[in-house]
Amino acid sequence: MAQQETEHLTRIMTSAALSRAVSTIAELGIADLVQAGQPQPVECLARASKTHEPSHYRILRFLAGHGLFQETENRHFDHTPLSAVLRTDAPGSYRAGAQLFHHLFAAWDGLHHSMQTGEPGFNKVFGAPIFDYIRAHPEMGPVFDDGMTSLNIYETAAMLDAYDFTGIYVLADIGGGNGSLLSAVLARYPNMKGILFDLGHVVGRAKEKLQAAGLAERCSVIEGSFFESIPAATSFTIGPTNSASRSSATAAK
């Protein structure tokens, strides 16, 4: 009998429910309603989040079985290390990453179509390629930016520790999104200047990010699609002075 394999496959198949539960909790901000060491009754959590109390309780119980939250006494829930990272104010918070999954999870429903046709499943489900969809739904822009930053925050730090950018005068991030990666590199290398190249509906948010980080004077933001072309190195300019770069740009992506 294949009991062990069947049970393993069952755990794999039901993992989709776990992913959806985590994403839902993140979107509703449930983790923010619990301070570590101060268990909250589920009725208070349901009232504060305007959710259905019995369903809320069952989802928290389900998550607790996987190490997210713990039921400390009857219908009272406290944090575990996993659930605490879903707090908005947690160092390295994963909430935005889970929220991104919440909004785009339905794309996985297109996997069957993708396997049959080779076409992106996202396009089948949402009716457009992902970046066109985000452009048509401006409210998704910050969700995508924050989610990608949340998912990649530790990768960026690891990259900066592993790779030496010394000697690069101008660094170009092609498809640089909201500028989080390039901002981190420029902050580490104060003599470096940057180029951020991305779509028109993205670069406005990138400018805000760079301005908030105090890096706008050291980084030019150029609008365009890398699916069509990228600017020649000689066309790059730095900062508001519009002065030409003295060296070729190095693509970060």
SS3 of 112-176: HHHHHHCCCHHHHHHCCCHHHHHHHCCCHHHHHHHHHHHHHHHHHHHHHHHCCCCCCCEEEEECC
Q: Which CATH class is domain 3-92?
A: mainly alpha
3-state secondary structure of 198: strand
What pLDDT score does 209 carry? 86
List pLDDT tens digits, range 136-174: 999 999 999 899 989 888 898 899 999 999 999 999 999
Measured between alpha carbons, how far is 222 from 236 in angstroms, rounded to an integer?
Answer: 8
List pLDDT tens digits, range 23-71: 999 999 999 999 999 999 999 999 999 999 999 999 999 999 999 999 9
Choice among 26-35, 134-143, 180-189, 234-243 with the minimum mean pLDDT: 234-243
At residue 105, does pLDDT exceed 80? yes
b/e string for 9-39 if b means 16 or more Cβ within 10 A? eeeeeeeeeeeebbbbbbbbebbbbbeeeeb
Residue 57 tokens, joined: 């309780």
Write down how long the chain is: 253
One CATH from 3.40.630.30, 3.90.1150.10, 3.40.50.150, 3.30.70.660 for 165-251 = 3.40.50.150
**Confidence tier at 248 by pLDDT (50, 70, 90):** very low
At residue 187, does pLDDT exceed 80? yes
- In the predicted model, what is the mean pLDDT of residues 111-129? 96
The H or E element spanning position 45 is: helix 42-49
Label residue 195 exposed, middle or buried (CB < 10 Å: 0-12, 13-18, 19+).
buried
**Confidence tier at 230 by pLDDT (50, 70, 90):** confident
Return residue ranges of the chain for CATH 3.40.50.150. 165-251
Cβ partners under 8 Å of residue 117, min gap 6: none
Return residue ranges of the chain for CATH 1.10.10.10. 3-92
CB contact at 8 A, 220 and 237? yes
What pLDDT score does 243 carry? 33
- Please provide the average confidence, as pLDDT, over all residues in the chain: 89
